[in-house]
Amino acid sequence: MIADVAELLLLALLVVCGIAACASKNLMVSLIIFMAYSIIMSIVWGLLKAPDLAVTEAAVGAGVSGVLMFVTLNRIRRIRREEAKDDEETDI
């Protein structure tokens, strides 16, 4: 009984995280929600008795992909700041 409620709650959280990640305007918020989605999905894989998929989802989905996307967002922000500085210097 309690396990069924927990599984339904996890599935509802997956749907909410999926929709929120797609609907978010802020890329950083969307990335954090995506990582939460991956962690919840790894818990679901564990409940389905697929520990290999659970570990893979946690490592790749929340770990490696999250870090690579964080690095990419930081690079994009740096490039935009440098372009803004260049635009300010040429306006003077």
- List helix spans (H) across the chain: 2-23, 27-47, 51-56, 65-91
User: Quick check: pTM over 0.85?
Assistant: no
Residue 37 · residue 11 · CB < 8 Å: no
Domain count, the chain: 1
45 CB neighbour count, 10 Å cutoff:
18
In this predicted structure, what is the pLDDT of residue 62? 86
- Running along the chain, 92 residues long, what does each successive block of 10 average in pLDDT? 87 95 93 94 93 94 91 92 82 62
In this predicted structure, what is the pLDDT of residue 41? 95
In this predicted structure, what is the pLDDT of residue 31? 92
Residue 43 · residue 7 · CB < 8 Å: no
Closest CA to 37 of 57, 65, 14: 14
In this predicted structure, what is the pLDDT of residue 90? 75
Rounded CA-CA distance 45/18 in Å is 17
Q: Which domain holds residue 8?
A: 2-91
